[in-house]
């Protein structure tokens, strides 16, 4: 199947909350290209509601499976149009779910000054995943370390997610920072909830 098309038009953005935001999107083989496309559409929807700029929010995007791909750093795009144009180019990887590696990379490589992390701006991580990590113990260790530098929000998609692991990954309180949907088609219903948690 072809990936779902991104038909979003770029809005001027009305959410003025000035954050350094990293999307970490699951790209393991359990998703498949079509669901990965729906996930990208959701990422685009969130970005479309933000005000993007050097004094507003900046966005980095990473996809992960057994390996990871950093699609863009915080300092790659400072306007919404070019950022939105980059979202459809996020690559589907397949293979396993090395969540701990993605969390470690976020802490050690993304939230750094050389990658565009800004002093005085809150760091937020939004993780979208549909399954369990390959190493839950190491994932919990890396999540705890990441909590020192960023607020972590997790969206669990479908029945294969492990609630206890999502709670370990997310920043407390769980009832605020762990969001659940039954399938990828329901992701768009999370737009308002995720924006309220981010800001």
For position 14, what pLDDT does the model report? Answer: 60
Look up residue 109 and give its DSSP letter: I
Q: Which of 21, 100, 89, 116 is nearest to 65 (CA)?
A: 100
Question: Domain spans of the chain?
Answer: 19-198
- Tens digit of pLDDT at every position of the chain (199 positions): 333 333 333 444 566 789 999 999 999 998 899 999 999 999 999 999 999 999 999 999 999 999 999 999 999 999 999 999 999 999 899 888 999 999 999 999 999 999 999 999 999 999 999 888 989 999 999 999 999 999 999 999 998 788 999 999 999 999 999 999 999 999 999 999 999 999 8
Q: Which of 127, 146, 120 is nearest to 20 (CA)?
A: 120
Cα distances from 72 to residues 28, 62, 87, in angstroms, run 19, 7, 10
Token pair 């669990």 is found at 156
Q: Which fold has domain 19-198?
A: Rossmann fold (3.40.50)
82-115: pLDDT as tens digits: 999 999 999 899 888 999 999 999 999 999 999 9
For position 10, what pLDDT does the model report? Answer: 43
For position 11, what pLDDT does the model report? Answer: 47
Q: Round to the nearest angstrom and report the end-to-end CA distance of the chain.
A: 35
Structural contact between residues 157 and 121, judged by C-beta atoms closer than 8 angstroms: no
CA 199, CA 111: separation in Å to the nearest integer?
18
CA 164, CA 174: separation in Å to the nearest integer?
10
Q: Which of 144, 132, 198, 136 is nearest to 171 (CA)?
A: 144
């Amino acid at each position: 199947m072809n990936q779902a098309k991104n038909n979003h038009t770029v809005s001027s953005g009305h959410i003025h909350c000035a954050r350094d935001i990293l999307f970490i999107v699951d790209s393991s083989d359990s998703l498949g290209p079509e669901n990965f496309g729906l996930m990208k559409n959701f990422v685009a929807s969130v970005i479309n509601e933000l005000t993007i700029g050097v004094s507003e929010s900046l966005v980095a995007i990473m996809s992960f499976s057994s390996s990871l791909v950093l699609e863009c750093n915080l300092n790659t795009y400072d306007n919404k149009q070019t950022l939105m144009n980059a979202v459809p180019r996020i690559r589907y990887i397949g293979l396993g779910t090395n969540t701990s590696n993605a969390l470690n990379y976020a802490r050690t490589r993304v939230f750094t000054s050389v990658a565009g992390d800004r002093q005085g701006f809150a760091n937020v991580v939004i993780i979208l995943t549909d399954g369990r990590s390959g190493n839950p113990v190491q994932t919990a260790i890396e999540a705890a370390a990441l909590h020192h530098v960023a607020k972590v929000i997790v969206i669990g998609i479908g029945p294969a997610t492990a609630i206890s692991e999502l709670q370990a990954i997310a920043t407390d309180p769980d009832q605020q920072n762990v969001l659940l949907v039954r399938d990828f088609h329901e992701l768009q219903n999370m737009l308002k909830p995720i924006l309220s948690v981010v800001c």
